[in-house]
Every structure is written in C-alpha cells, then in structure tokens.
A and B are shown apart, each in its own frame.
Chain A
Amino acid sequence: MIFGGIAVFFIAFLAAPLLILLANSFVTGQGSGLSNYSEVLGDKSVAAAIGNSIQVSTTAAVITTLLAFTLAYAVNCTKMCNGLKMLIKIGISIPMLLPTITYGFAIIYSFGKQGLLTKFFGMELFQIYGFNGLLMGYVIYTLPSAFLLLNNSFGYIDKKFIIVSTLMGDGFFRSFINTILRPLIGTIGGAFVLSFILSFTDFGIPASVGGTYNVIATQLYQVMLGSIPNFQSGSVIAVLMLLPAIFGVVFLNYLERFNFYYDGFSVTELPDNKLRDWALAFVSVVTVTGIVSVFLVMFIAPLVTNYPYDLTFTTQFIQQALFSSALLDVYENSVFVAIISAVLGTLIAYCAAIINVRTLMSKRAKISIELFSMITNSVPGMVLGLAYLLLFNASDLKGTFMIIILCNIVHFFTTPYLMAKNSLSKLNPAWETTGELMGDTWIKTIIRVIIPNSIATIVEMFGYYFINTMVTISAIIFLVTARTSVVTSKIKELQHFANFNEIFVLSILIFVTNISIKICCDLVNQKLTSDYR
C-alpha cells in the first residue's frame, strides 16, 4: 500500500510532467516533429548561450574539483590542528545556507567598482559581470557539495596505505598517486560532474551577475517569462538542459569501474610532514576566508546609511524590512513552504527507503524506487518547474502553495532518500522478525523499533529539505504567483528596482533561519545520541 502511494506520487508528479514536457517539445503548428529543435538550435543566441554555459560550467567544475580535493585532502590527510579542520568544514558550508541569487549580489557588492573587497585591494580585480562573475559564483555555489562528496570519500580511504607506500620507498608523488588519487578517481570524476551540472542548470547566479553573457538558464527564463512566452521553445531548451545530466550518469557509470573497495578499514596515524601541513593549512585558510569575505558585504550593506558612500551605522533598513508586511509575508510563505516540504518530503523519502531496505517487496518495486531517485537527481529544478507549469497550468494546483511544495519534495528527494536508505540498511535486519515473534505487527515494529533507531537521520533529512527549500529559486521561479511568492522569488523581483538593501536583509533572514534550523537539528541529534548512549 505504501509502495502504491509512492508510485502514484512519482508517476503523477515526476513522470507525467516530464513526459508532457518532452511531448510539448515536439508539438508544432502543423502537428508534431523536430522543427522546434531545429528552430531553437538554429537560433544564434541559444547556440551562444549553450556554448557559454558549457564554457563557464566546465571551467567552474575544474576549479571547484581542484579546490574541493585540496580542502578535503587538508582535512583528512594532514596533521593540521582539529580546530582549523572544523573551521574549514564550517566555513565551506556557509554558501549552502544562502540562495544562489544572493551570491551574485554579494559578488557585485564585493568586487564591483565600489565593492568592499575592491576597496580593500585598492583596485578592481576583474570585470564582474559575465564570465568572471559567473565563474566565481559557480565555484562558491558548487564547492560545498563537491567538498562534502570528496570529504566523505576521503573518510573511506585507508590511510595505512600511505604508510605502506612510504615504507616501500615511494616518493611523495608516487605515494600520492597510488594511495590517494587512484582510489579517489571515481569520486573526483563525480565531483566534476556534480559541479558541472549544478553550474549548467543554476538560475540564481546568472540572474544576478550574468550581465549580457547569456547562459542556457537565463535563455529559458527569457523564453518562458519574456514578453511573448514560447512554451514549445522553452520545452526544447529544458530538454537540452537535461542532456548534461544524462551525460553525467553515463560518465559516472564509466567511472564506477575505477572504484575500488578495501577489505578492511582501520584508523591509523599519518606520517609527519610539516611542509605539507603548513602549505595546505595556508591554501585552506585563504580559500575559506575568500568565500566568507564575499558574503561579508551582505551583513554590512544593510547596516549603513548609503553603501559604499556613507558608511554611518543605521538599523533603518533592517527595521523597515522587518516592519514591512510585504517582506514579512514572503518570509512567512517561505518558512511555511519549507516546513511543509520538509515534513512531507521526509515522510515520503523515509517510506521509500523503508520499502527498499526493510521489506521483502519485489525487486521490480525496489528498482522503480531507485529509478525515481535517479531521475529526481538528474532533473534540474528549472526543468521540473517548467514541466509542472505545463502540466498543471489548467488545474486547481496552479498558483497554490501545494504545487511549490510538491515540486520541492520531488526536486530534493534523492539525498534524503539515500540518507534514509544508508541509515536503515545499517540497522539489524533481524529486528522485524524479532518484533513479529514478540507479537508486533510489521508497522508496529517500524514505529517501536526502526523509527526510534533512525531518528537522527530523520532529523537530518528534515534539515536538508528545509534548508534547500528555503534557498531554491530554480525549482520555483515558474510556479510562484504574487500570492505565493517566496523570499528567493521576491529577491529576483527586488533586483528590478535595484533595492539591494532589502535583498540583503531578506538574504540575512534566510541565512539566520537556516543556520537556526541547522543548529536545532544538530542539538536534537546530539541530545538523541547522548540519550541513546
């Protein structure tokens, strides 16, 4: 029954919208055909936008992968002090708590002609609008995800091999290649693909700092929400946006053959190397300081009279924003959408994971859940949003909070599902049988034993859904209306009025809310873990 519900949910809110989108891309005035594709691909501006997207996303992915690898190496394979390692981990995750559209404005206010960092360095470091701004934004945006991926994999690298390699006479580079690079090659490829796809499909950064450098996401936005919306061309562009994800899945499958698995695993001390530790500590501190300093302006600009000309302290803008019902309403909308998405999303992802890991459901059912998870992971937020717009435009869902919530649940499904799956698979497989022998029904065992033993993961899943729903703009930009506007879409609206103080106040609100939720989740988990012990 649970599987039936989940299957119906994904057929209705994932498969059907995507099929409609695909079908729509073939609909022409004369029936159906490939003419939409030839028309879109023949359009010089679209071709240029695709070329730009590939160019800037590839460059960002290369830089991000290198940086993420260096930071993860510093955290896992050096004897740097633990406090610094913790600071790196915290600093690197800060951008995840903010919407990407804010990154662009923070870059403008940091590196623009009158920017905070421009003043600090005494000169304009580079032209921010276009390629440079996008590149910086994408690197900041994708670095936390790539770092988390690599950092997690580094945790599974057996450091004993470094000692074996050293004892066998390997120099630094051979040792590095054999014991670090070789085991991680699959994950490094994964980090590159992740960074590329995230950059290729992001809308927030190009919306704020793209300037005249058109990328595919802004092209789709212009086609759909321009003066004359073109649903067919929009569908074609959306389908084209799916291509990197397909390429990514194929590439990751290819990289899978390079993964290798250790027989056993044990914790061991690393060999001393002061030069390695100092050099990597320096690189890490510079990177994290660089990231944090870009966002510093976000907290300064709304607290001064007229940034950057009059730097007298004032709380006027904060007060105005906090007492403005228009801004508070969108903030309330955001929190409401985030809470409901997090509650329902966690429930659906947890149930899907239970079915996959803790039941004897048929293999076909389990594969179909995996398939849903793979598809949701591959479909960019903008594409999903557009697919919802096409399918539900004539339905009662149009213009409701529910459509935004459903889109968020589907869009962010993969990670919480994998979290739950991973956690549930580690629990003793005999608990259900034991429960049954004690007279409990299956559902009773789930409630009495399985849920209490995976509550920490449930809290993490909730936190993940909440934070991501608060910061997303790509998934909801085609679905919000004046009544259901959320903070990120309001920021996009305020951009037209160049109202940067309100933009930054709203960004701070999101940041503070997300950080509070993150701390609450961590505290709850700490409490649960200590109670358990």
Chain B
Amino acid sequence: MLELRNISKKFDGKVVLDGINLEIHNGEIISMLGTSGSGKTTLLNIILGLTAMDSGTIVFEGADISRVSMKDRGFNIVFQDYALFPNLNAYKNIIYGLRNKPDAVSASELDELIDFLELRPHLTKRIDQLSGGQKQRVALARTLATKPRILLLDEPLSALDGVIKETIKERIKAITKKYRLTTIIVTHDPEEALTMSDKVLIIDKGTISQYGTPKQVIHEPNNNFVEEFILRQLQIKRDNIYQLFKECHA
C-alpha cells in the first residue's frame, strides 16, 4: 500500500499542494484529475521522487520512503510524450533498462509483453516510423519490462485520438490488471479518469476535492467544483452525443 501523509509543497512562495493525505491499495488504478495548475503533476513527481516535498511523509509497504531517491524507489513512469530514445529502435528502447536489471524479466515474459502489446511487427522500426499509439505501447513496454513497483502514467492518452485512444485505454486497463500493478494516472480529462480507474482523486488548488470510486464521484459529488467543473463536462458531452444520435435516427 502507498500512503501519502500530509504532503505539502510550495513553489516560489505559492502553495501548490496543501496537506494531501491519501491511501492507494496494491493493484488499484488511481486517476488524479484536475485542471491545469491544480497540483496533480507536482504530486505525481513527488511520488516518483523527482520533486522534493516541503513537508509530509510517503510510506510504501510500511516503509518510509520520503528520503529514498527516485532511482531507489523502484517506481517508473510513462511520460506524456513517451521520451523514447530517438537513436534506438523500438526493441532497443523496450530492453533499455534490462541492461541494468537483466533479471527483471525473463525472455519469455518479455516475449509475452511484446505480444500482449502487439509490438512484434514494429520491433525493428525507428521511433520516427511509429504511430502515436505504437509509441505509447513501446513506452509502456519499456517501463513494464523493468517491473516497477508502481506504474505512473502522465497524461497517457492526451497525444492520441479516436479509436487509438480507446484501444490504448483498454490495453492499459488490461495490462495493469494482468500484472496486478498499482497504477497512478494523471489526467485532465474526466471521461478518461472515470472510465479507466478504480478510484479518482480530484485535486483543486492543491487540495483534495474528492477521492472515491467513479460511481461515488458521479452520484455523490463532494462539492461545487466536482459538480461544475468535472461532472458538467461529462453531461455536456453526453447530451451532445444523445442529440446527435437522436437527429441521426429521426
């Protein structure tokens, strides 16, 4: 279990996170949802170990890891733009971390991962020859091959569109369930958060607005912010789609 206790952070005197308390159980998929500047990416970076917090404690599996370096925490991240090494082909990107952790996955596990993400036909391609969805899957494979203790995904679907987005969404859900991997997703899209995760953490101005299951968020919004800025977006989207289908059938 990952516990965040009273996490606070300021940048240049401006409060970005203010007393965040959170518990994430093993194998859960959590989405952090919020508007730009709400503090969700800072919280993600604090969990990763990239950004130092001003106060608070991070406990993982009962051990205080607040002062453990990013490298030694054993968490890993897929960045929004994937950060794939352009001088290496897809396969070399996937196995990049295995040079340092050769025992992280066996050859058969790696094969299984590659097949599961349907990357076999693209292994020898250069990064600039891959589509957005393929890049996303290569980045995911590269991260998963190191067997992270927690998987962090920074806006994983923002660079994708249409059907690809839905496919990747399903694949992320499937793979995290398959490996029973605790996963934290940062997103600004309510639909993405509510359809991908077991629990949703809604952050507003550095504080938690609501933390609960998608059902709880939809049926029991905690406050005006959740209602106005999160649920309203979904309602408008839903109404537009209903309207469109009605017109089509009329």
- A interface list, Cβ under 8 A from B: 158, 160-161, 163-164, 166-171, 174, 178, 182-183, 260-266, 268-269, 271-272
Q: Give a binary string over B135-150; 1 marks a CB under 8 Å from any A CB, 0 the rest.
A: 1000000100010000
A263 B127 Cβ-Cβ under 8 A:
yes
16 further A-B pairs in the complex, CB-CB below 8 A; given A161-B83, A163-B77: A160-B79, A163-B70, A166-B71, A167-B70, A167-B97, A168-B146, A169-B146, A170-B100, A171-B100, A178-B85, A182-B87, A261-B128, A263-B82, A263-B84, A263-B86, A269-B50
Any A CB within 8 A of the CB of B81: yes
Residues of B within 8 A of A160 (CB): 79, 81, 83
**12 A/B residue pairs, CB under 8 Å, sorted by A:** A160-B79, A163-B50, A163-B77, A166-B71, A167-B71, A167-B146, A168-B96, A168-B100, A168-B142, A169-B97, A266-B79, A268-B50
> Which secondary structure dominates chain A's binding surface?
loop
- In order of increasing CB-CB distance, the 5 nearest A-B pairs are A169-B100, A168-B97, A264-B81, A160-B83, A260-B86
Any A CB within 8 A of the CB of B120: no
- B interface list, Cβ under 8 A from A: 45, 48, 50-52, 69-71, 75-77, 79-87, 96-97, 100-101, 127-128, 135, 142, 146, 159
Count chain A CB atoms within 10 A of each CB in B51, B83, B85, B87 and give the residue with the most: B83
A167 B100 Cβ-Cβ under 8 A:
no
B135 A271 Cβ-Cβ under 8 A:
no
Inter-chain CA distance A183–B51, complex, in Å, is 25
A167 B77 Cβ-Cβ under 8 A:
yes
B77 A269 Cβ-Cβ under 8 A:
no
Residues of A within 8 A of B128 (CB): 261, 263
- What is the chain B residue whose CB lies nearest that of A159? B83
Residues of A within 8 A of B159 (CB): 264
A164 B51 Cβ-Cβ under 8 A:
no
Inter-chain CA distance A262–B85, complex, in Å, is 8
Inter-chain CA distance A121–B227, complex, in Å, is 72
Known: A168-B96, A169-B71, A169-B97. A271 touches B87 (CB 8 A): no
Residues of B within 8 A of A262 (CB): 86
Known: A182-B87, A263-B86. A271 touches B100 (CB 8 A): no
B96 A269 Cβ-Cβ under 8 A:
no
Residues of B within 8 A of A168 (CB): 76, 96-97, 100, 142, 146
Inter-chain CA distance A114–B107, complex, in Å, is 71
Inter-chain CA distance A182–B96, complex, in Å, is 15
Q: State how many angstroms separate the Cβ of A166 from the closest Cβ of chain B.
A: 5
Inter-chain CA distance A271–B8, complex, in Å, is 19
Q: State how many angstroms separate the Cβ of A56 from the closest Cβ of chain B.
A: 35
Residues of A within 8 A of B83 (CB): 158, 160-161, 163-164
Inter-chain CA distance A64–B146, complex, in Å, is 40
Residues of B within 8 A of A268 (CB): 50
Q: State how many angstroms separate the Cβ of B9 from the closest Cβ of chain A.
A: 12
B101 A169 Cβ-Cβ under 8 A:
yes
Q: State how many angstroms separate the Cβ of B82 from the closest Cβ of chain A.
A: 7
Residues of B within 8 A of A161 (CB): 83, 85
Q: State how many angstroms separate the Cβ of A153 from the closest Cβ of chain B.
A: 15
Residues of A within 8 A of B81 (CB): 160, 263-266
A266 B80 Cβ-Cβ under 8 A:
yes
